[in-house]
Structure 1
Amino acid sequence: MVISLEDMDEPTTVTDADGVREGFAGQRMLVVPGSIADRALRHPVTGKLLVTDAGYFPHAARHGRSRPRGAPQQILLVCTDGEGWCRSEGAEFAVSRGGAVLLPADRPHAYGASETDPWTLWWFHFTGSDAADLVKSAHAAADGRVTHLRDPAPVASLVSQVIDALDSGLTLSSLIRASGAAWHAIAEVIATGRRNPGPTLNPLERAVDHLRATSPHRTSVTALASMVGLSASQLTSLFRDNLGVSPLQFQVNLRMTRARELLDGSDLPIAAVAREAGFDDPMYFSRQFTRVHGTTPTAYRSRPVGT
């Protein structure tokens, strides 16, 4: 069955009782309208796992939710900085950097940020025929509600991809992309999470891993810094001191590496190579490629290659 998702509404945001938009500086939040979610749940892919809400709350002071009857969907919370707490089915536990919590649907719960060191939270709500089994698997792997990730950046990166997919327009393809990234995020929690905290990668290693995993998609320095618990200036200094380039230039280098791979290993037109390497404008790509390599993409492809 093919479900048409044409004539969709725009993503919505939440407002309080006085009509004032809730939120935190730099936040992102998207909500899929109920009519669209209902249709998507009849599709063979999104019917298995559908993201209905997703967001990013940086340094979320005074953030909290209490749902005495639970939520209609399952919920994933990932803390990448600061601290918070969660209460579920009578048990309360602390959530700090690297903590991932999966809350089952229709179960009472509450959670909130620490008053002294509020958390940075990446999250999404999800439903579908496979959703409950994924939550049960995560609880079994962690032997509890909270999973400790050695490095939360890869999971935060996948949540970021969920948000980006929804933000690109609520088409069927964007909902499928969001579902795929969400499935991957939950699978990462199940596969890499542990019962107890342990040694972690340093912030630079986490940032580099995220950029390599998501290239050629561009990540802002501010978002990247929040994933690893630093300010944008601190992260930029780490990159310059240890790698000799800024985070943005590091991303350009990754995209250029991808471009060289495609020029060497495929017959794609230059415009297609540009798109695959993350450049929307082929002319801009050619200028950047020439600046970095001292030759145009066409000349690079035509160069003699030794055996």
Structure 2
Amino acid sequence: MGGINDIKKEQNKVGSHKNIWHGVGRQRIEIPRSVLKSRIQNNALLRQMYICGLGYYPRATHHYTYRKKGLPENFLFYCVDGHGFYTIGDKRYEVGPGQCFILPQNVEHAYGSSENDPWTIYWLHFGGSLLPNFNALPVIQKHFKPNPVRSSNEMISLFSKIYKTLELGYSIDNLLFANMCLSHYITLFIYNQKHFVASPSEKIDCIDSAILFMQEHINENITLNELSHRYNYSPSRFSSLFKQRTGYAPIDYFIQMKMQKASQHLGITDKSVKDIALSMGFDDPYYFSKRFTKVMGMSPTKYRSVTRD
């Protein structure tokens, strides 16, 4: 009888109370502040990025939360069904199935489900000393707006592993496992496309396309003018876009890819340095060695001897 009464109480309490949603099927874990302070924030391995709480809200009727000053942590939301909305400052966004978004720390926000078609969401609340650096990344700022994600069993499976581990208590092993899973869980959303093999018909942006083009032509020489013309940009604009995404100028990035490939040849073949240089598009072995040393931190000959010891 107790179980039935509990369900009836929960049904009568459906909705948000003190920024916590109550409803049938709710799953929710919040790490106690005492645990965060004593076992995580004092741990050099964990304090940089750590889970504060996570949950699953199915058909979250009357779900609504507003925080004037936001929170000192981030929220990652993944909507799998239904619809909802959120605001960051004075900007409002609509959210539907197969979309995710991040609410950044210390920013006024609100979020809630649609009255007519309440959302089903997975959410994860995470903090850490590196959060300001994390939120400064362009790929993270892109996710302050709703982003479509391709569904993967791994997303739900990893969420479940984290949740079930934390249900077993806050031993150091459980905390380490859950928080070591955190970075991978986040990449499933912010680098969603990298977890799938792109189909031939799938459109990818010009920077990713340019990197694939470099890989396919790793044995050749490519100029900045050739790349920029290929994607209908001026050389300066293309270079700026490429550097914004990767942190490197296009040709410097291409040289690094060449040296990575060359290091593989040095490690697993008996080809001469001259032959490897030629295969990477370098007519001058001396110049190749100079570039290899700058990228890899040692000469090709030294690299070969080290990797074969």
TM-score range, shorter chain: 0.5 to 0.7
Structure number with greater Rg is: 2
Matched, 1:92 2:92: yes
In the alignment, which residue of structure 2 is the partner of 1:170? 170
Matched, 1:26 2:52: no
Q: Residue 58 of structure 1 aligns to which amino acid in structure 2?
A: P
Rate the CA distance shift 1:114–1:17 in 2: closer, same or farther, 3 A.
Answer: closer
- 8 Å CA contact 1:148–1:193 kept in 2: the answer is no
Residue by residue, what CA displacement relative to the aligned partner does 1:163-215 show, whole Å, maximum 9, x if unpaired?
22211111111112221222111112121169xxxx9xxxxxxxxxxxxxxxx
- 8 Å CA contact 2:166–2:178 kept in 1: the answer is yes
In 2, distance between residues paired with 1:148 and 1:185?
16
Q: Quote how far apart the aligned CAs of 1:64 are.
A: 1.2
Give TM-score scaled by structure 2 length.
0.53
- 8 Å CA contact 1:138–1:189 kept in 2: the answer is no
Rate the CA distance shift 1:159–1:133 in 2: closer, same or farther, 3 A.
Answer: farther
In the alignment, which residue of structure 1 is the partner of 2:278? none
- Root mean square deviation of aligned Cα: 3.0
Rate the CA distance shift 1:26–1:99 in 2: closer, same or farther, 3 A.
Answer: same
In the alignment, which residue of structure 1 is the partner of 2:45? 45
Q: Residue 145 of structure 1 aligns to which amino acid in structure 2?
A: K
- 8 Å CA contact 2:66–2:110 kept in 1: the answer is yes
Matched, 1:35 2:34: yes
* Shift >6 Å, 4+ stretches: 15-19
In the alignment, which residue of structure 1 is the partner of 2:69? 69
Rate the CA distance shift 1:18–1:68 in 2: closer, same or farther, 3 A.
Answer: closer
Q: Quote how far apart the aligned CAs of 1:140 are.
A: 4.7
In structure 2, stretches of 5+ residues that fail to align are: 1-13, 200-309
Question: Residues 182-261 of structure 1 correspond to what in structure 2 (within 5 A)?
Answer: 182-192=182-192
In the alignment, which residue of structure 2 is the partner of 1:103? 103
Pick 1 or 2: higher relative contact order, CA cutoff 8 A, min separation 6: 1
In the alignment, which residue of structure 2 is the partner of 1:284? none
Residue by residue, what CA displacement relative to the aligned partner does 1:9-46 show, whole Å, maximum 9, x if unpaired?
xxxxxx99999x95221111111111110121111221
* Secondary structure of 2:157's aligned partner: helix
In the alignment, which residue of structure 2 is the partner of 1:280? none
- Alignment identity in percent? 26
In structure 1, stretches of 5+ residues that fail to align are: 1-14, 200-307
Residue by residue, what CA displacement relative to the aligned partner does 1:188-243 show, whole Å, maximum 9, x if unpaired?
2121169xxxx9xxxxxxxxxxxxxxxxxxxxxxxxxxxxxxxxxxxxxxxxxxxx
Q: Quote how far apart the aligned CAs of 1:144 are.
A: 4.5
Q: Residue 187 of structure 2 aligns to which amino acid in structure 1?
A: A
The number of residue pairs the alignment matches comes to 181
Rate the CA distance shift 1:148–1:110 in 2: closer, same or farther, 3 A.
Answer: same
Rate the CA distance shift 1:22–1:146 in 2: closer, same or farther, 3 A.
Answer: closer
In 1, distance between residues paired with 2:85 and 2:108?
15
Give TM-score scaled by structure 1 length.
0.53
Rate the CA distance shift 1:139–1:67 in 2: closer, same or farther, 3 A.
Answer: farther
In 1, distance between residues paired with 2:33 and 2:98?
32
